[in-house]
Structure formats: structure tokens, C-alpha cells
A = this chain, B = another copy of it.
């Protein structure tokens, strides 16, 4: 039977590209997001894919979805946490609850995903858990007060899980995207920028697929990607 990949945050950009990449690479794909319509459309494109509308910030909803996936498709080989709660504004601008809510999506959902999937993967001989992040995971700019702390927490939680599960054959990795992703709303927002300014979801998905299949003799934890012209 084909291996199963579970992907959260399957919106129009990275998540959909990852679903397509893993599907093309021989995986069945369970897709999680809040928006049912988009998932249904994507699922229509790909046989052996499952649309699982879910709010990952609601742990009961998330765990219910995961159990349903397991019933329909078995244990996953790969889990990708790409869902993200974001915010813009300095610490005075933001509503305090925004930081808490982003923590639920970015960190608590990862904890629940890992607790649910890691033992199942280990029992079946291994697997990979990949988390997508950005430079907020290593740096707190003034206007990312409601977001950056949760990405830093997410990276450190992933690192903590990686150290526990590596020796048990589970590869946990953090893919840090240092660029503006090419999706409709960023194209709108950065209209004046050339095509090369944007990192392509397909390129991100390709790197995620690579990481998920590194030989266990040479695993990466933190991988950064940025377009060739990025000023970093």
C-alpha cells in the first residue's frame, strides 16, 4: 500500500504544493485545513487524497480528524505541520489574545500532532515530521510580537521532539522559509516586485520531499531556503 502523508495548512500556497508533491511521489495524502471547499477541489484532482476540514487550534477537532484518518487510511509515514497562525503589529498594537491563539495553532497543534503520530510511526519502523517556519523562528522583529514568539516556540518544540525521536527512527525537521511565498495575496501586496522576489511553493515542497527522504545516516534538522536574490 502507498504510504500516507498528513498535511496541515493546505491553503493555496505551500500546503497545496506539498500535497501535490507527495502525491506525485507516491503518497496518499490527507489534507487538513479550515476551508472545506478548497480541500474538496484539491482532493478532486488527486485520487488517494482525503479532504479533512479541521480547525487545528481545537485539539478535540484535530485529534478526532487524526483518528478518522487512521481509520480510513492507517498510520502516516509523513506528517507536515504547515498550518500557521500569524499576526502583524508590535506588542502594543496587537490584541494580547492573538499571541495566545497563534500559540494554539503553531505550537499546541504540533504537540498534539507529534504525540498522536510519533508512536504510530515508530511502531511501523519510522517516519518523518516536518514543520514549516520562517525567520521569526530565530528573531523577534518589533512588528512580529504576536507571531515570532510562537514560531520560536515551535522550532524549539520541534527540536525537542527531534532529539527524543531521532534514535527511534523518526526524522523531525524544521524548514525555515526566509522569503515571501508566491501566493495570490502576497502578489497583491508586493505588486511592484519581480517574479524572482517570491519563493515558489513548488520549490518549498520539493525541499520538504527531499528532507522526508534523506538517508537516516544524514538527517537535517534545520533547513533554510531563500530565493537566490534575497537580501539576508
Q: How far is the CA of A151 from the CA of B159 in the complex (A)?
A: 14
Given contacts A140-B163, A145-B161, contact A203 B225 (CB under 8 A): no
A31 to chain B, nearest CB (A): 22
CB pair A111 B90 closer than 8 Å: no
CB pair A207 B218 closer than 8 Å: yes
Tell me if A228 is interfacial: C-beta within 8 Å of chain B.
yes
Using Cβ atoms and an 8 Å threshold, which residues of chain B touch A227? Answer: 216-219
Q: How far is the CA of A108 from the CA of B145 in the complex (A)?
A: 11
* Bitwise interface map of A from 133 to 161 toward B, beta carbon under 8 Å scored 1, else 0: 00010011110110011111111111111
Given contacts A154-B149, A199-B218, contact A142 B171 (CB under 8 A): no
CB pair A108 B99 closer than 8 Å: yes
Interface of A is mostly: helix
Tell me if A73 is interfacial: C-beta within 8 Å of chain B.
no
Using Cβ atoms and an 8 Å threshold, which residues of chain B touch A200? Answer: 215, 217-218
Interface set of A (CB-CB < 8 Å, partner B): 59, 90-92, 96, 99-100, 103-104, 107-108, 111-112, 114-115, 118-119, 136, 139-142, 144-145, 148-164, 166-167, 169, 171, 196, 198-200, 203-204, 206-207, 210, 214-232
